[in-house]
């Protein structure tokens, strides 16, 4: 078979969606916009929802064209972001500016103090950030991620022992991720993934998600037998599931804004 004929009859691999971020300063705040090059897109599109801003580029559009599109829609973008921020999202954290820190269903007062190293701690007055004079946005995002990961692991470590006796085995590994839609997952090898946004919501809802994923070690499906296992361990799971229906998107949006 000739090379030309082979190329004609061989399936063409689908073009992949490419994602990165672009930063834009609006007034006194620098925001991060998800930039997506989508082979299915026919035109440049800018959209905003509770997850943040998204710039979609078709295959033939250059990065410069995308940046010009952002400049043309700068005022609209600012209005839309303020709209979503005003619907239940606290203001974005800025170094040196007092604000609030979401944690376990509460908004803790946040204050700043000068320090040699970046450090975030909880005390009797709320949350306190020790902040170096040369700290920047990347330092703050890293600090927040490490803080929330530590808090999440502490909660899991507190709840997990009481559920282990009734399981065929323990999870092989725990991974903490920023998930777009799911709250948790369990891989065939027994490794568990949990959404980092869980620690922002009320603890009972977080514990339900943990129990839900643990029960997949017994039933790797969502059959009546699976829900029976959940019911036995966490009787008010329906109330927590309803909580995520009402508050889930806001929690995920808060985490994206923080990180």
Per-residue pLDDT tens listing for the chain (259 residues): 555 445 544 444 456 888 898 888 887 677 888 999 999 999 999 988 766 788 999 999 999 999 999 999 988 888 877 766 655 678 788 888 899 999 999 999 999 999 899 999 998 889 999 999 888 888 999 999 999 999 999 999 999 999 999 999 999 999 999 988 899 999 999 999 999 999 999 999 999 999 999 999 999 999 999 999 999 999 999 999 999 998 998 899 889 888 8
The parent domain of residue 63 ranges over 18-84
End-to-end C-alpha distance for the chain, whole angstroms: 54
Tell me the sheet residues that pair with 127: 110, 122
Q: Of the candidates 44, 65, 84, which is a domain's last residue?
A: 84
Is this structure's pTM higher than 0.75?
Answer: no
Answer whether residue 64 is part of any domain: yes
Q: What is the DSSP letter of 32?
A: E
What is residue 214's three-state secondary structure?
helix
Helix (H) or strand (E) holding 176: strand 173-177
Q: Of the candidates 55, 84, 113, which is a domain's last residue?
A: 84
- Distance (Å, whole) CA 204 – CA 186: 20
Tell me the sheet residues that pair with 184: 194
Tell me the sheet residues that pair with 123: 126
**CA neighbours within 13 Å on the CB side: how many for 49?**
6
Confidence at residue 9, expressed as pLDDT on a 0 to 100 scale: 45
């Amino acid at each position: 078979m000739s090379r030309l004929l082979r190329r004609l009859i061989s399936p063409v691999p689908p073009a992949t969606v490419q994602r990165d971020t672009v930063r834009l300063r609006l007034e006194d705040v620098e925001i991060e916009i998800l930039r997506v090059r989508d082979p299915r897109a026919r035109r440049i599109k800018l959209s905003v929802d509770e997850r943040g801003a998204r710039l979609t580029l078709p295959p033939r559009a250059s990065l410069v064209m995308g940046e010009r599109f952002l400049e043309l829609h700068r005022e609209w973008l600012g209005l839309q972001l303020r709209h979503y921020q005003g619907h239940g999202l606290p203001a974005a954290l800025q170094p040196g500016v007092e604000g609030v820190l979401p944690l376990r269903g509460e908004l803790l007062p946040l204050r700043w103090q000068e320090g040699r190293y970046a450090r975030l701690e909880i005390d009797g007055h709320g949350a306190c950030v020790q902040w170096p004079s040369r700290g920047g946005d990347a330092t703050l995002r890293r600090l927040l991620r490490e803080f929330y990961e530590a808090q999440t692991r502490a909660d899991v470590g507190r709840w997990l022992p009481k559920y282990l006796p009734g399981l065929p085995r323990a999870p092989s590994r725990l991974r903490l991720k920023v998930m777009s839609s799911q709250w948790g997952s369990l891989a065939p090898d027994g490794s568990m993934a949990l959404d980092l946004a869980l620690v922002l919501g009320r603890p009972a809802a977080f514990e339900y998600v943990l129990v839900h994923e643990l029960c997949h070690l017994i039933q790797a499906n969502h059959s009546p037998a699976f829900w029976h296992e959940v019911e036995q361990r966490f009787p008010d799971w329906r109330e927590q599931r309803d909580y995520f229906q009402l508050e889930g998107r806001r929690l995920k949006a808060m985490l994206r804004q923080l990180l």
